[in-house]
Each structure stands twice: as structure tokens, then as C-alpha cells.
Structure 1
């Protein structure tokens, strides 16, 4: 792993930080297999707001604006990458201008080898389960932040009032499962279209873990889950283990390639080999 564009660590009396010396700053790393990669940082600028835009090589990961003179939560990006060499870069923009270089705290890049979870799991005859937090997943989610790994499992912050989990078209859903938890009272409402499937409450000691049957909704392509924070604090909850059970695609049938006449000829040849059919006459 290599680092460029940032100063040596400095100490403010409470925490260590670095300051950008060039634009952009970069962290280089390589993997020898599919890995979960998590990049996080926090910016502080005393006189003006500062925005950091993170990129993985040429792919924009996201941006976050840190207000002037305030410490706010870290920016976090994460995802799975295949074998290869990569660079995470961070570009800085101040509004209106940077009177001095911003301070960058909590700069951290974590590369995790975690092969316990697969994107697709065989669950029996004609069925399979798709998992969201896995390499090359076929599921899609809108309304949450990126996954983070706590050393044991993956968590996504629920950032919108509701999130939508969807799966590939042309597949019949069987069930959907997930877990929501929070440090305050909350309510989870799960819908398919306009139909409410479940309303359930939880709190700091009680998580909500529905496993909802979708047998009656063979044409459904998504579920929408509304999470209400009952203490009035938005973004209070996290999402774990999102998954969907589906019927597997039907096997492609191959039509026979042997014609009727050829079949009879082959059967006749087999009969002769086995000693059946007309025998030579004795003269």
C-alpha cells in the first residue's frame, strides 16, 4: 500500500491528521482475489466548507461536503473489487476558497478478505437465494448508504425514509429477508407496490427481522421498506443481511436431433448385434 499527496502525521492535541500537499491525494493498493474495500476520511476546514470527491481509478465513488469549522461524521465508501492494482484518490474543493489547506482526519483504507458469503446460494430443487452484500450481486438497492464491515458482518445505513430492494426481471420471487436495527424506537413497513405486507416495531433491544413470503406476488420485481424513526431522528437505523429467494431459471430443453427414419435404422442395427432379426437360411 502506498500514500502520496498528504503530509506526515500531525497532532492537534487530541487526534492525528494530515494536510493535502498536492491535488489529488492518492492511496495505492493491490489485491490477489476479490476483496471488500472500505475507504474513509474526515475533513476539517476552519474558514470555509470543503468538499472531498473520492475516485477509484477513473470511477467516481462519491463526494461529501464538510461545513466550515465543524467536525461531522466521516465519509465512507466501500465495495468489492476483483484482483488487480488500484488507486483511491481524493480531490479537495473549498467554498468559497481554501484560506489554508484543510486537515484530513481518520484517513483509512481497509482491504478485507471475506469468502463466507456468496452472491448466489443454492437452496434446493428449483430455488436459490441472492444476497446483496456479496461480489457480483444480482440484487440492487436504492435508499441506503454503502455497506461497511465491522469485522463480523455488513451494515448499510438507511439514509432515505424508505429503501427499495429489487431483483432481476423474469424471475419469480419466493420470499425476501433482512434485518433492521436502531438505537431508538422505530417502525418498519414493508410493501409490494401499494400493498402492505408487514408493519412491525423495534427498539434498541429488539431488531426487526421479517422473512416475508412473496408466493402471492409472482410478478413482483421489488419490495419497498419504510423505516420510521419514532424519536424523530432521521437516519437512525441500519440494514443487515438483505436477501431474496427466487425460483431458478428453467433449464433449456434441447430438441432431439435424430430423425424417425434414422432412429429405426439404429434400432435395427442394435437388434442384429444382439442376435435378433432374420437368420441366414441353410441351403
Structure 2
């Protein structure tokens, strides 16, 4: 059976705004001789839209100011999901960030600030809203034997992460930039975790160390051609509520990795789990074996 492909809808808001999207706080389109742009009319702008069901959405934009560095802080439904600073007088990479949403009305907003203060409003280029309908994305997945897999990159996920940036869609899969020297993946206290898995990619040599508390669960190295894909055995840590993963970039020391497919296998809340104490080792071996045979990347979360 062929896996359903995501349905991707892109709204280019630089010149036109469709009737089902409301853009406020930005000027009418202007032209610099090469590209169109809009300018903030105040300290913030907003983008309101509706989704008919569970969707992934992301906002893309680029800011430019000739004399001052300008920053944009992006919020999705009032929650900060990212911030980018664009240096004075330079056109740099677009900022992209998003999140998973349930059906209903939602809003992106951008708060602007300049250092030193802007003498004139900055210019905002390449403003795009992308909406993705993806049947592959689920917050939980039944894995049998009284267990289930929780996925981070899904609407309503029970997993949480610190130390990583906003999720984006790379055209195939969902990724998060690692923005700190370590990230922490956590799950609810009422869930007993059996294992955790993820994939890290980088364009340079890097080292990954995963821990529960002070206990090292895995140490691996990767590079531009070799991803790091540990599967962490948590059976000996039934009280654990998180794993901490240190990512060391060995060329320049700056954050360099991208995170794909973060998930945690847990006992499912069904009566059968009450009789699984003796079966847990076998269940974990099957889960680990399946992960090794299938490969977490093939799951494309």
C-alpha cells in the first residue's frame, strides 16, 4: 500500500491575501525594483486563519532594515515559538517556524524590535503561510503487547521538549533545530516509558550523549553522512519522566544538529498492562527489533 502523501497548501501573502486569511499590521505591497515587500505599521502584525481539521502550519518571512538590526518574535496562538534577528543592511536566510493545530481559528503574530531603534519601519519579505494536511501524523500509535508509541511532532502530543526550536516541514519530514548544548524530551508522570528514540542530522562531525539523570544510556558519533539514531532502553528507570541529550558540535561548537522523529514507547492504559510485568523485557526486545528493522526515519513523523 502506498503511503498517503501530505497535502500542502502555500499562501504567498507578499502581494495578495486570500479571502480565508486575515492579515493586519502590515502595509499594502510595495516594490523595491526587484521584489515585493510589506512594512509593519506598528510594533506587531498578525495573521488569522482557520483550519478544518488537524493540520501542521508554518509561517515564513524575512526582515530587512538598512541601519539597524531587527528582530521578529513569532507567536502561535499566544505562545512564543521562535525569534530571529536579522543584521542591519543584510538579506539573510528566511525565518520559518510552525506547529500542529486542531480544527478551528488560529493566529500567528510577529512582534518587531530594532537595536538601535529603527529610523523607519523595516521591510518584510517572503511572507508565506503553509498549511499541511498529513494523514501520517498521529500523537499516539498502538504497538501491540499493551504498549503504544507517543510522537512529539503531532497535534495534541503528550510529549514535551526543551532546547529545540520550532518545528518546520522540510518537504518530506518534520524537523526541529537543536538550539542549545542539550535538549530534554519528557513525558507525563502517569506514563511508564519503555524506550525512547530519535534521529539527529548535522552537516559536521558531532557527538551525542543521552542520559537519564546521571546515568548514560547512549554515546554515539555522527557526521554529515552519518545520522545518529539511538534507541534508549528505559526499563531500568521506571520512575523516569525525561531523557536529556547532549549534542556536541565538533567543528565550531555552535548548535549544528536537526532533530527528527522523537518518540517514546510507553505502557498503554489498558487492562492487559496489569499482567505485563514479566512480559516487559520481551515487549521491549520486539520494539527495539522493529525499530532497527524499520528505521525511525521510515516512519516520517
Which residue of structure 1 aligns with residue 207 of structure 2?
Answer: 187
Which residue of structure 1 aligns with residue 38 of structure 2?
Answer: 18
Which residue of structure 1 aligns with residue 293 of structure 2?
Answer: none
Q: Does 1:136 align with 2:147?
A: no
Residues 112-168 of structure 1: CA deviation (Å, up to 9, x unaligned):
111212111111121111000011001111110011012211001011111111111
Distance in 2 separating the partners of 1:61 and 1:202: 28
Which residue of structure 1 aligns with residue 7 of structure 2?
Answer: none
Which residue of structure 1 aligns with residue 49 of structure 2?
Answer: 29
Which residue of structure 1 aligns with residue 24 of structure 2?
Answer: 4
Residues 141 and 149, structure 2, Cα contact 8 Å, conserved in 1: yes
Distance in 1 separating the partners of 2:140 and 2:77: 28
Which residue of structure 1 aligns with residue 227 of structure 2?
Answer: 207
Residues 76 and 98, structure 2, Cα contact 8 Å, conserved in 1: no
Change over 3 Å in CA distance of 1:12–1:235 after alignment to 2: farther
After the TM superposition, which of the residue ranges 49-58 and 111-120 deviates more from structure 2? Answer: 49-58
Which residue of structure 2 aligns with residue 100 of structure 1?
Answer: 120
Change over 3 Å in CA distance of 1:90–1:58 after alignment to 2: same
- For the residue of structure 1 that corresponds to 2:271, the secondary structure is coil
Change over 3 Å in CA distance of 1:127–1:58 after alignment to 2: closer
Q: What pairs up with 1:24-103 in 2 under 5 angstroms?
A: 24-103=44-123
Distance in 1 separating the partners of 2:56 and 2:119: 37
Distance in 1 separating the partners of 2:177 and 2:79: 22
Distance in 2 separating the partners of 1:60 and 1:177: 26
Change over 3 Å in CA distance of 1:57–1:177 after alignment to 2: closer
Q: Which residues of structure 2 form unaligned runs of 5+?
A: 1-20, 273-301
Distance in 1 separating the partners of 2:246 and 2:134: 30
Which residue of structure 2 aligns with residue 109 of structure 1?
Answer: 129
In the TM superposition, what is the alpha-carbon distance from 1:192 to its structure 2 partner? 1.2
After the TM superposition, which of the residue ranges 82-91 and 95-104 deviates more from structure 2? Answer: 82-91
Residues 82 and 165, structure 2, Cα contact 8 Å, conserved in 1: no
Q: How many residues of Structure 1 are paired with residues of Structure 2 in the alignment?
A: 252
TM-score by length of 1: 0.81
Residues 233-270 of structure 1: CA deviation (Å, up to 9, x unaligned):
41211000000111123539xxxxxxxxxxxxxxxxxx
Distance in 1 separating the partners of 2:158 and 2:249: 29
Distance in 2 separating the partners of 1:56 and 1:212: 32
Q: Which residues of structure 1 form unaligned runs of 5+?
A: 253-283
Which residue of structure 2 aligns with residue 239 of structure 1?
Answer: 259
Distance in 2 separating the partners of 1:54 and 1:197: 35
Distance in 2 separating the partners of 1:61 and 1:117: 20
Distance in 1 separating the partners of 2:254 and 2:68: 26
Distance in 1 separating the partners of 2:169 and 2:160: 19
Distance in 2 separating the partners of 1:222 and 1:44: 40
Which residue of structure 2 aligns with residue 121 of structure 1?
Answer: 141
Which residue of structure 2 aligns with residue 152 of structure 1?
Answer: 172
Residues 82 and 166, structure 2, Cα contact 8 Å, conserved in 1: no
RMSD over equivalenced CA pairs, Å = 2.2
Change over 3 Å in CA distance of 1:175–1:56 after alignment to 2: closer
Which residue of structure 1 aligns with residue 5 of structure 2?
Answer: none
In the TM superposition, what is the alpha-carbon distance from 1:18 to its structure 2 partner? 2.2
In the TM superposition, what is the alpha-carbon distance from 1:12 to its structure 2 partner? 4.1
